[in-house]
Structure 1
Amino acid sequence: MIRPELMKWKDATDRLLALSISNDDDHRDAMIVSIEAILDEREQLQPSIKPPFSAEEEAFGKELVAQESKVAVKLESYLTAIRKDLSTSQTKKDSVRSYVNPYSKVARDGTFYDTKQ
């Protein structure tokens, strides 16, 4: 007999794996909210999963551990995509800023430039 907490954990893990992580900016906020909700649910279940485990629960736990690595890889790839988009956005902002004011990064070392020549 497998404890209900373990079954709920597996269900939450399956939902995390089933989320189709897309790079669509329109759905990104909703996706982050749903990922956080599932992770919070798993965090609440974690304290109730304590030994001793039966042999059946041990085998079930090994399957869960195997799925955890898949979840970690999927979440890490999503985090990498978000970081990439943030750096691209920052690069675009810097490009626009330097186009608007091209002399903003010129070193001002105290020299005088005569503009009346």
Structure 2
Amino acid sequence: MIRPELLQWKEATDRLLALPVTNDETQREAMIASVESILDEREQLQPRIQPPFSADEEAYGKELVAREPKVAAKLENYLTAIRKDLSASQTKKDSVRSYVNPYSKVARDGTFYDTKQ
């Protein structure tokens, strides 16, 4: 007999692994909310999974532990996608700013530039 907490943990892990990594900005907020809700659910289940475990639960737990590197890799993919979008957004802001004011980054070292040529 396997405890319901372990079954719920496996279900939450499966849902987390099934979520797609989207590059679409309109779906990103929904993706982040889904990931956060699943991680919160797993966090609430974790304290309720306490020893002693039966032999069936031990085998089931080893299967769940084997899935955790996949979960970590998936979360790293989410983080990488979000960081890439933040970097692209910052680059876009910088290029717009330099287009609006092209002389903002010119070093003003006190030299005189003759503008009457």
TM-score normalised by length of structure 2: 0.92
Matches within 5 A, 1:44-55: 44-55=44-55
Name 1:66's counterpart in structure 2: 66
Deviation at 1:19, TM superposition (A): 1.1
Query: Alignment partner of 1:2: what SS?
Result: coil
Deviation at 1:21, TM superposition (A): 2.1
Root-mean-square deviation over aligned CA pairs: 1.4
Name 1:23's counterpart in structure 2: 23
Name 2:86's counterpart in structure 1: 86
Per-residue CA deviations over 1:14-56 (Å, capped at 9, x if unaligned) read 1101112221111100110011011001101111111111111
| Number of aligned residue pairs | 117
Which residue identity is paired with 1:47?
Answer: P
Query: Alignment partner of 2:35: what SS?
Result: helix
Q: Does 1:99 align with 2:99?
A: yes
- Residue identity over aligned pairs, in percent, reads 81
- What stretches of structure 2 of length at least 5 have no aligned partner? none
Distance 1:19 1:78 in 2: 10
Deviation at 1:116, TM superposition (A): 5.7
- What stretches of structure 1 of length at least 5 have no aligned partner? none
Deviation at 1:110, TM superposition (A): 3.1
Deviation at 1:115, TM superposition (A): 4.5
Distance 1:42 1:110 in 2: 61
TM-score normalised by length of structure 1: 0.92
Distance 1:78 1:70 in 2: 12
